Copies of this chain bind each other. A is one copy, B any other.
Amino acid sequence: MSFLVLIALGALLLWLPISSHGGLAFSEALFTACSAVTVTGLVVVDTGSALTLFGQIVVLVLIHLGGLGLMTFAALTVMALGVRFGLRGQHLVREAMNQTSPGDMLTLVRQVALLAFTLEALGTVLMAVVWVPEMGFWEGLWFSFFHAVSAFNNAGFGLRADSLSAWAGHPLINLVITALFIVGGLGFTVLMDLRRHRRFSALNLHSKLTLSGTAILALGAWLLIMLFEWQNPHTLGSLPTGERPWAAWFTAVTPRTAGFNTVDTAGLIVPSTLLIILLMFIGAGSNSTASGIKVSTFMVILLATRSFLLGRPQPSAFRRTVALDVVFRANSVVVLSLMMVLLGTFLLVVFEPRLQLLDLVFEGFSAFGTVGLSRGITGELSLPGQMVLMVLMFTGRIGPLALAFSLARPRRRRVRYVEELVQVG
């Protein structure tokens, strides 16, 4: 609910003449506000050139409230789950969060906010080293601050139409931006766990799965993108050989919800595009600013498949067994998420018969995963198409969380009908 209010308020502010050069249509302002609050980053107007400084500040505040606000909302949710999980569940959730009582809630929110501001400030200073000399003091500082906030919150909003393509081969910018959005995308439970236990072996299973999954996905995607795109003249092939690994790395990690790009997304060949669609669907960590099914869900499904193929009764990893409830919940998250994103994508295809299928599917998954990568068609969409994207961004942002919450709710057993088996598969 608070999200809807925030979007409406943001849309009104962006609609004001003071926010843009020449004024926005209300639908443009609404789309921009929705994209900012859901930290997606899809745009119908160019943030850097069409919005004034005031408009850009509005976007940044919306990103912060949408991103950080969601993290604290997630904290609330998880705390609520802890209370409702029953005794055994409470113990496990508490362990997962290193929390001793719901009274620590406020402390937790403060810690999250403090961590966010610290990392954003650090990122701003590091990037200012590059951008202040290039653009002058105030301009360079604003550019650095805007991108640091946008990166840590995985918002994907940039100030240039071609995102960060000008620095495709710049080591420092690549490192700082990807570090910010990868850390921001781990999720606060993992961050808190890392704060407490510095050694990997001391972490809880959720943190281990999220961290190892993040590493596997990032490295695997890096290798595949280099393999697919090395010679492609529209993407890596246009860069000096030494810069290609940097651009491939950026392309490999940005789909997991960040949404910046350093090479032309529309220039990628089909296999890379499909890989990126999968990565966008997976997203990053639970309780982060990421949408999608989440890395931990993906890892649980991989583990369950492995244990199934090996004929083992339950999946296990890192000398811990994954509870079967978790496997079932993971499957439900995948199936419900797929139903949402496929329905939305189908409507996009029906509403936009003139646009390419691959571009529309990409756009739909990008919106649902609140990623913000685009093959360049966002601005060409009709009003119904834009509305589908807004609904996808919103449900993508809220859906999985609400779903996880609801599935964890103890079910009132008031079965009135006789239970019966149905053959499936």
Contacts and interface: CB of A to CB of B under 8 A. Distances in A.
Interface in A277-314: 278, 286-287, 293-294, 296-297, 299-301, 304-305, 308, 311, 313-314
Contacts of A339: 301, 305
Contact of A422 (B269, B305, B322, B331): B322
Oligomeric state, in copies: 2
A28 to B, nearest CB: 27
A326 B421 contact: yes
Contacts of A333: 424-425
A95 to B, nearest CB: 8
A400 B299 CA distance: 22
Nearest to A332: B331
A323 B420 contact: yes
Contacts of A411: 313-314
A274 B350 CA distance: 10
A412 interface: yes
A161 interface: no
A334 interface: yes
A134 interface: no
A416 B319 CA distance: 9
Contacts of A275: 346
A271 interface: yes
A89 B342 CA distance: 35
Nearest to A304: B332
Contact of A205 (B308, B403, B422): B422
Contacts of A71: none
A419 B297 contact: no
A417 interface: yes
A208 to B, nearest CB: 9
A297 B385 CA distance: 31
Contact of A417 (B206, B316, B406): B316
Nearest to A74: B423
B92 A421 contact: yes
A412 B358 CA distance: 45
B331 A335 contact: yes
A322 to B, nearest CB: 6
B296 A423 contact: yes
Contacts of A332: 304, 327-328, 331
Contacts of A234: none
B314 A422 contact: no
Contacts of A320: 417-420
Given A316-B417, A323-B419, A417-B316, A424 B357 contact: no
Interface of A: 78, 89, 92-93, 95-96, 189, 204-206, 209, 269-271, 274-275, 278, 286-287, 293-294, 296-297, 299-301, 304-305, 308, 311, 313-314, 316, 319-323, 325-339, 342, 346, 349-350, 353, 357-358, 400-401, 403-404, 406-407, 411-425
